[in-house]
Amino acid sequence: MHRFFAALLAVSGCASIAQAQSTDPAHTGPSLTLDKALDLAGATSPSIQVASAGIRSTDAARTIAGLRPNPSIVTQTENVTGSGQYRGLRSAETTVGLELPVELGGKRSARIAVAGARGQRAVIAAAVARADVRLAVTQSYIEAIAAERRLTTAGEQSGIATGALRAARVRVKAGRASPMEEQRAEVVRINAEAAVERATRTQEVARGNLARRIGQPITGKLDLAWFDRVSGYGPTQLIDPGSTLTMTAARADVATADAQVGLARSQRIPDIRLSAGARRLAATNDTAAVFGVSIPFPIFNNGSAAIAQARAERDQSDAMSRVIAIETAQAIAASEAEVANAAMTALTASGPALVAAQEAARIARIGYREGKFGQLDLLDAERTLSEIRAAAIDALAAYHDAQARRDRLTTAAPDLTRD
């Protein structure tokens, strides 16, 4: 007898996943895998478009930073609108010249360094946007496929409740049970049908949310085999926090702050303006060359306050990067443990526990029809099966969600080598 039940458990364990897949809601069109959903979302996501525009903006800013100051055309008229011989324009002397600003202290190279650092930060921001979109699409996919599984389970439970109601009616008509059993079975059936309606609405919302993420309607099935697949149950991986997007972004912020310090230092040295022109002398109608040099005199603002501000912001970025390093290492360790625990829970919930509950419910149905078990025994077995099925779906969804969040946290930084 024990060998018979062991063999029965093994057979039902192999058939449990196939049974769940065979009762999925019908959808026309090709199936939508997670990889396909990620590709579609990457091509239409506004967040990625925003990040791409940010890269183009920093590229333009770097070009602007490398430009030299424009020269100026200077025109000056003297000895006009005075008195005596200087009345009106009779003694006017006009000077026309060209003024050229000359940057000193390495301001141009400092601007280019700041623009280059901001450009690398924009590249990292684009990678962060892609990683965030990947996480959001994966989570929407998990919600949609879990909702589809819940609808399948609710439909199966509704069918079971309808069968139990028919069995109760047969027992009542045969005089083997009281009418109370039929009423209880009717209540269970009504509740099961209501659960189907709720699951249907939830599935429609989840598929709609996924469709909005990928930018097109979903007409086919989702990848149920991917949802059932559990991996990563074992020792945690050793991941270097320094290679993650979060730490790379923090280092880029420090590099930008360093460049800002260099720019502030370069601005302490005042620029000069060289001018050259020609003057027409009204008295003799001759022309003479005019040369000039303009040098600012930094009395009130010598740039020391700007340097102090830039250094403080650099210290702030450096301290923040150390904080982020600690928090990232802790988050990675916690996520690895969470993935391992979720994998163990999913394997347990969708494996031996589900197989045992399915077999117990099957035996209870047979025994109830044959009059060997009471209705309360049947209802208890069915309720247990329903709860374990729901727990198995929740466990699989939690596992995939934990894995997606771990992958987002450990996403490697892009290559920052740019022409």
- Residue-wise pLDDT for 179-218, tens only, equals 887 888 888 889 989 999 999 999 999 999 999 999 999 9
Q: Where are the alpha helices (DSSP H) in 176-223?
A: 179-214
Number of domains observed in the structure of the chain: 1
CATH of the domain at 371: 1.20.1600.10
Written as six digits, the tokens of 93 are 């002397």
The CA dihedral of 202, 208, 213, 217, to the nearest 10 degrees, is: 150
Written as six digits, the tokens of 292 are 């000039």
Residue 293: which H helix or E strand, with range? Answer: strand 286-294
Q: Which of 150-164, 216-230, 314-328 has the highest mean pLDDT?
A: 314-328
* pLDDT score recorded for residue 172: 79
Report CA torsion sign: 358, 363, 369, 375: negative
Pairing relation of β-strands 72-78 and 286-294?
unpaired
For residue 51, what are the domain limits?
Answer: 2-68+103-268+303-409
Q: Which of 256, 213, 257 is nearest to 123 (CA)?
A: 256
SS3 at position 303: coil
Spatial distance between the Cα atoms of 40 and 354, rounded to a whole number of angstroms: 35
Report CA torsion sign: 299, 305, 307, 308: positive
For the chain, helix (H) and strand (E) counts, in that order, are 10, 4
Domain assignment of residue 90, yes or no: no
Spatial distance between the Cα atoms of 249 and 321, rounded to a whole number of angstroms: 9
**Predicted confidence (pLDDT) at residue 311 exceeds the cutoff of 90:** yes
Considering the entire predicted model, what is its pTM?
A: 0.80
Domain assignment of residue 383, yes or no: yes
For residues 282 and 91, is the Cβ–Cβ distance under 8 A?
yes
Report CA torsion sign: 144, 149, 153, 159: positive
Written as six digits, the tokens of 36 are 């396909």
Q: What is the pLDDT of residues 127-173, one digit of tens each?
A: 999 999 999 999 999 999 999 999 998 998 888 888 878 877 887 78
* Cβ neighbours, 10 Å, residue 9: 14
pLDDT tier for residue 56 given thresholds of 50, 70 and 90: very high
DSSP 174-185: TTSS-HHHHHHH
Domain assignment of residue 282, yes or no: no
* Cβ neighbours, 10 Å, residue 354: 22
Written as six digits, the tokens of 414 are 């892009």
Domain assignment of residue 374, yes or no: yes
Spatial distance between the Cα atoms of 207 and 374, rounded to a whole number of angstroms: 41
For residues 96 and 75, is the Cβ–Cβ distance under 8 A?
yes
For residues 382 and 368, is the Cβ–Cβ distance under 8 A?
no
